[in-house]
Structure 1
Amino acid sequence: MRAEKEQMNIVLVGHVDHGKSTVVGRLLADTDSLPKGKLQQVKDYCKNNAKTFEYAFLLDALKAEQSQGVTIDSARCFFKSKKREYIIIDAPGHIEFLKNMISGAARAEAAILVIDAQEGIQENSKRHAYMLSLLGIRQVLVAVNKMDLVDYSQERFDKVKQDFTGFLEGIGIKPRDFIPVSAREGDNVASNSKNLSWFKGDTVLEAIDHFEKEPLPEDKEFRMPIQGVYKFTNLGDDRRIIGGRVETGTLKAGDKVVFLPSYKTSTVQSIEEFNVSGKKSISAGESTGFTLTEQVFATRGDIACKASEPPPYVGRLFKASIFWMGKKPLELDKEYKLKLTTSEAKVRVTEITGVLNSSSLESAKAPEVKRHEVADCVIESKVPLAFDTFKAMKSTGRFVLVDEYEIRGGGIITEPLEDEESATREQISLREQKWDPGSIGFRERSLKYGQFPTLMLITGPSGVDKKSIAKQLERTLFDQGRSPYFLGIGNLLRGLDADIDKERRQEHIRRLGEVSHLLLDAGLIVVATASDLTEPEIRLLRTIINQDFIITANVGDFTNGNGVIDVFLDENDGVEANANKLLGKLSSNNNIFSR
């Protein structure tokens, strides 16, 4: 049986019209990697349409290229050398299409940066190089193309090499090679050239064969972002499969896992794969699933980790480097959607610590980030996120920012920062690690009660009637056959909290959260009231209680909402109408369902 050759992903970048597509076309043609008859077919097409044949037309994306004269999408094509198979990502050079380069380069292990020998280093050449640095791509080959247009001048080649080497080293890239080439004429692409006899180095093909293949990061800590939780009860299958793609590390049956940011823990019962039975372990690069011995709440966006290994960071605040692509500038305190692995969260940039000039590499503070600028920022999320720094784990340390349903920027996390709930999270982590579960699991209770355990937290100014709404909701749920429980904070103040001063408000709030957590573990819908809760206090409760288990409602004025209030109630609407509004929220969230 023939052993499969290893594969490597390489991205081609460079300024528009510097010849990236021609380099790819030459590699395809000169390594006999084209489908049979493809080369002649394209040549005939050009002849019949009075077009000059270009090797760039050999790309699979030739329709877009021929109709518009530029590479529109990140075209992927394949060729083989004696050593390995290559997936070449031909990223667009036009500045308008840099977001395509980000999506392509993010999967690349190495890069070929193409520079026109005649035009020299352009603004986009530097931008693309910085993007490679930002994405952690350190294996870079610089192809100085169109040497035929400068009469194969060694002096011109040396000048381009000298000018670009200093810039690349300044952003942490040490090129593996600078190679003079003429892709149109075939010089130094796949074979040596008499026109460049003064150059004694490798061809492009030889040089990329010297690139080191990145091994799958199986030796790193286990990270598996959850794509979804899959159930097949309609087929008589009671398994609950946690599904996703393993980004790093390995996992086997019997391993203890923790789900972040909730800190819920359980043990792997079995590894599940379609049409495969008896599999004992999974490792980086596999899309798969597993079941648990004790059912805990895990959902899309969580990251599964091994309890025995250092975990990702969990928090709402971090430093990041961002490359902005939106037509409108990135603004301070504006709300954006952040996508990190499978999780999504509303975020805002609280500080722009520096905007980098891609030509001079100078950084300066600015009130906004303009299109195609790189900036160091501080980002605050409305909910806790699990993440690594990009330096430690690329896949769980990069993100995109979305505005108006379009990707406007890409970024990497450089440093976690402490937020107001950091200390509480440490305590919650310890609580969940040591939690002693009963014999009845989360899913069993939910199915029996026909409800998802939820804290319905009603707040508002002192003097505004909240209890009547809470008790009406409790009664309505009970009459429907649900299992609700009214928890007024006054009951805690006069009982559990009787030993602490009224001034210790944060401790009162913490105890409200922990008592609610116990009642939620019993499968109940807890309807609680507390006056004058602030945004930080609600965030504290969302930390103590999994954010998926809490709905916050406000009666009356609330000036510091910032996303922590889910339902706003008007006291003038009356008790029954407001209770029904909360009931509707429970229903629309699928917190109550048919048994």
Structure 2
Amino acid sequence: MAASATTPVRAPSSRGQDFPIVIVGHVDHGKSTLIGRLLNDTDSLPNGKVEELRASSVRRGVEFEWSFVMDALQVERDQGITVDTTRIWFKTPKRSYVIIDAPGHKEFLKNMVTGAASARAAVLVVDVARGVSEQTRRHAYLLNLLGVSQVAVAMNKMDLVDYDQARYDLVKAELEAYLASIGLTAAAVVPVSAQKGDNLAGRSAATPWYKGPTVVEALDAFKAPASAKDLPLRLPVQDVFKFDERRVVVGRVEAGTITLGDELVFTPGGRRARVASFETWAGPGTPRIVPRQAEAGEPIAITLDQDIFVERGQVAALDGTTPSEAKRLRVRVFWLGREPLKVGVRLKLKVATGEYHVTVARVLSVIDVHTVSEDKLADVVEVGGIGDVILESRSPVAFDTEAGLRSTRRGVLVQDYRQVGGVLIQGADEVEKETAEKTSVLVAPTHSVTRREREVVNGHKAGVLWLTGLSGSGKSTLAMTLQRRLFEAGKQVTVLDGDALRTGLSKDLDFSPEGRRENIRRSAEAAKLLAESGHIVIVSLISPLAADRDMARQTIGEGFAEVYVSATLDVCEGRDVKGLYARARAGEIPAFTGVSAPYEAPETPDLTVDTGTESPDQSLDRLLTLVSDRYLV
């Protein structure tokens, strides 16, 4: 158990030489124990570290565990589970590794997403006594989702089954079948006892029937990834600073190489400029060395030969190898939010340095991690589930679909300042986008923001509820109450009330048949404009003639719903809070609807509410149901 006195557990080796691997597995399957023992058996612990931990265990009155080597947080030791990703460095004679220990508990999967996203290979830990668990399948599927294709399996706790080969073969067959079903192949399935050190760094006499590699040998057999500097240039813009008259663009080169004089194309947008200089800052007395080139992994600051608009989130690339850009993306999502993911949910998508406001436009399918089958009829992705969805962004997203361009292919979803999911971008949904734009009859070609875009941002469809009925039937009361309920639910909603329209938009009109018709025409046009702006518009107008209401329906088109607010004349007169019926019967108001002018009740309205027999709450509930069916789907 000799150990190096100079090799720290949590300090990296020289930049760019570490091979990142992720350790995953179900809670209590022995990940932390495996890591602790692996560090010890590869002489990667400082002298005295194990003795220190043993002494600490005695003081705390607990049995020493190898997991204490890396379970640094006190809460983790108290609870006996790992709750965060931990990075630990160790070396073999072949190379240096950085281990990303990822939590196995279902509640902490978001941390595994963070850890596995930067890994080049994985070790999947499975308790041979318990077998393949649901969480084992989730972790394996997530590795595949994140593009981690090099996987070794540590079949742990062989000592608990007396190193039984038959049990090992049974669990191995089940696991390999599942991995094959999701497109993964285990490079090795190593029977180990992390507690005793069997087959970790050295071969164990307890498993004479096993002829494969040890865990360390399996790790050393993983192929190093292709050099990122040989990939197409990707320079996500971190920020833009202004010094004197210079605008300095800063960021980290994620892939490729950038050279003085290169013509850069910034996506989204496609603006072009050449690299005019590399900027450096040196301290007093320090020679200032200005580079002419930078490659993947290097942070840089550059100026451009043209004063073009560049902002955080754009990605600089060379002509001919630029990222794609689109507002509608097809993505595979691993969902970790508090509630199921469904259509209309608004999120923030982070890709490289870009942040985009997105809305779930469609759920295409949900993937069952047990059967690896797709349910194309599902309309939600459950918490902890995986699905293919369409995300629609307010602004174009710069992205890649090539496996090597990880920084612009993968993303994170954020909701209420929490990471709630990881995504793998599969491509643009341009066909559906173009079809929607061509078939939408309400999108004016001169608009820079379409009705569809507003609906996606708002999280609901737009439309017009046209409330018609006698004066006193309760139209305005229902309209205002409905507006308040929808507003409190976060919907974009507006009321166009007859009295308000008559004192503003139509104050120049009289109450002749022509004046009434023109008032309805203006009201319909105003409601149409508001609907095209993404609003649910509630129009409260007597609109007594069927022909005028038909005109309004034709003007508004998509999203129009006629609601007949019914009440008998006696009921309406009994509610005559304005005294209008009394004045009409006294001859003071000519052509008053219901008294001296006709009212043509709708024959086939979309909804009838009878305020004379229903309570206000009943009428409101029926209106809310109509709104939900028509506009909130």
TM-score, normalising length from structure 2? 0.66
Match status 1:284 vs 2:296: yes
Distance apart, 1:558 and its partner CA: 2.5
Q: Deviations over 1:524-550 (max 9, x none)?
A: xxxxxxxxx8537999xxxxxxxxxxx
CA distance in 1, matches of 2:149, 2:75: 30
String of CA shifts for 1:32-85, please: whole Å, max 9, x gaps: 211221110001111233211110001152533312110111011111111111
**Cα shift readout 1:215-240 (whole Å, capped 9, x = no counterpart):** 3322221111110012233xxxx432
Partner of 2:392, secondary structure, is strand
Residue 48 (structure 1) aligns with: 59
Residue 293 (structure 1) aligns with: 305
- For residues 200-211 of structure 1, the aligned pairs below 5 Å read 200-211=211-222
What is residue 71 of structure 1 aligned with on the other side?
A: 82
Q: Identity rate of aligned residues, in percent?
A: 41
Question: Over residues 75-97 of structure 1, what are the superposed CA-to-partner deviations in whole Å (9 max), with x where a residue is unaligned?
Answer: 11111111111111110010000
Change (3 A) 1:173 1:353: same
The residue number in structure 2 matching 1:256 is: 263
| Equivalent of residue 144 in structure 2, options 133, 147, 154 | 133
Contact 1:117 1:157 in 2 (8 A): yes
Of 400, 410, 422, the match for 2:412: 400
- 2:274 partner amino acid: T
Closer, same or farther in 2 for the Cα pair 1:258/1:419, shift >3 Å?
farther
Letter in 1 for 2:53: V
Aligned residue type for 1:418: E
> Which has the higher mean CA deviation after the structures are superposed, 407-416 or 145-154?
407-416
Could you say if the C-alpha distance between residues 562 and 291 of structure 1 is closer, same or farther in structure 2, counting changes exceeding 3 Å?
A: farther
1:155 and 1:336 map into 2 onto residues whose CA distance is: 49
Instruction: Name the counterpart of 1:524.
Output: none
Q: Deviations over 1:399-455 (max 9, x none)?
A: 1111122111111111212179889xxxxxxxxxxxxxxxxxxxxxxxxxxxxxxxx
Distance 1:22-1:217 versus aligned 2 partners, 3 A rule: same
Counting only pairs closer than 5 Å after superposition, residues 154-303 of structure 1 correspond to structure 2 as: 154-233=165-244, 238-275=245-282, 277-303=289-315
Q: How many residues align?
A: 441
* Counterpart among 284, 292, 310 of residue 321 in structure 2: 310
- Give the aligned residue type for 1:124: Q
Amino acid in structure 2 at the alignment position of 1:358: V
Runs of 4+ in 1 over 6 A off after TM superposition: 2-5, 419-423, 536-539
Q: Deviations over 1:379-406 (max 9, x none)?
A: 1111111111253622101111111221
Q: CA deviation at 1:198?
A: 1.4
The answer (yes or no) to whether the contact 2:340–2:380 under 8 Å persists in 1 is yes
- Indicate the SS of the match to 1:176: strand
SS at match of 2:530: coil
The aligned counterpart of 2:522 is none
* Shift, 1:562, TM fit: 5.3
Within-5 A mapping of 1:127-526:
127-233=138-244, 238-275=245-282, 277-307=289-319, 309-364=320-375, 365-389=377-401, 391=403, 393-418=405-430, 506=445, 509=446
Q: Which runs of 5+ in 2 are unaligned?
A: 1-12, 283-287, 436-442, 456-493, 495-504, 506-525, 536-633
Q: How far apart, in 2, do the equivalents of 1:137 and 1:538 lie?
A: 37
The answer as to whether partners of 2:273 and 2:305 remain within 8 angstroms in 1 is yes
SS in 2 for 1:262: coil
Q: Distance in 1 between matches of 2:72 and 2:127?
A: 22
1:2-42 alpha-carbon deviations (Å, 9 max, x no partner): 99993101100000000000010011111121122111000
For structure 1, which runs of at least 5 residues remain unmatched after alignment?
A: 424-503, 514-532, 540-553, 564-595
Q: Partner of 1:30 in structure 2?
A: 41
The one of 548, 559, 562 aligned to 2:531:
559
Whether the aligned pair in 2 keeps the contact of 1:316 and 1:381 (CA below 8 Å) is yes
Q: State the one-letter code of the partner of 2:388.
A: D
SS at match of 1:194: coil
Question: How much is the aligned-residue C-alpha RMSD, in angstroms?
Answer: 2.6
Does the aligned pair in 1 maintain the 2:454–2:533 contact within 8 Å?
Answer: no
CA distance in 1, matches of 2:302, 2:117: 27
For residue 209 of structure 2, give the secondary structure of its aligned residue in structure 1.
coil
* Cα pair 2:32 2:71 within 8 Å, conserved: no
Matched residues in 1 for 2:14 and 2:84: separation? 33
CA contact (8 A) 2:234 2:315 kept: yes
CA contact (8 A) 1:110 1:211 kept: yes
Secondary structure of 2:372 counterpart? coil
Take 2:364 and 2:139, find their aligned partners in 1: how far apart are those partners?
22
Q: Is the 8 A contact 1:390 1:398 kept in 2?
A: no
Distance 1:422 1:223 in 2: 28
- Structure 2 counterpart of 1:586: none
Q: Give deviations 1:331-387, integer Å, cap 9, x for gaps.
A: 102221111111111111111111011111111021211101100111111111111
Q: 1:216 to 1:111 in 2, by over 3 A?
A: same
Question: Offset of 1:327 from its aligned partner?
Answer: 1.8
**Contact 1:323–1:410 at 8 Å: present in 2 too?**
yes
User: What amino acid maps onto 1:246 in structure 2?
Assistant: V
Cα distance change of structure 1 residues 303 and 422 upon mapping to structure 2, 3 Å threshold:
farther
Secondary structure in 1 matching 2:56:
helix
Q: In the alignment, which residue of structure 2 is the partner of 1:535? A: 451
Change (3 A) 1:54 1:420: closer
Residue in 2 that maps onto 1:103: 114
d(CA) in 1 for partners of 2:349, 2:317: 22
- 8 A contact 1:356–1:374 mirrored in 2: yes
Inter-partner Cα distance in structure 2 for 1:3 and 1:350: 45
CA–CA distance in structure 2, aligned partners of residues 5 and 388 of structure 1:
23
> Separation in 2 of the partners of 1:146 and 1:399?
36
Distance 1:96 1:252 in 2: 45
Change (3 A) 1:122 1:3: closer
- Greater shift after overlay, 405-414 or 109-118? 405-414
Q: CA deviation at 1:211?
A: 0.9
Q: Compute the displacement of 1:212 (Å).
A: 1.1
Question: Which is higher, the Rg of structure 1 or of structure 2?
Answer: 2
Whole-angstrom distance in 2 between the partners of 1:311 and 1:422: 22
- CA-to-partner distance for each residue in 1:100-122, whole Å, 9 max, x for gaps? 00001101010000000100000
The alignment partner of 1:391 has SS state of coil
User: What is the rounded CA distance, in whole Å, between the counterparts of 1:420 and 1:383 in structure 2?
Assistant: 17
Please give the alpha-carbon distance, in whole angstroms, between the structure 2 residues aligned to 1:66 and 1:306: 50
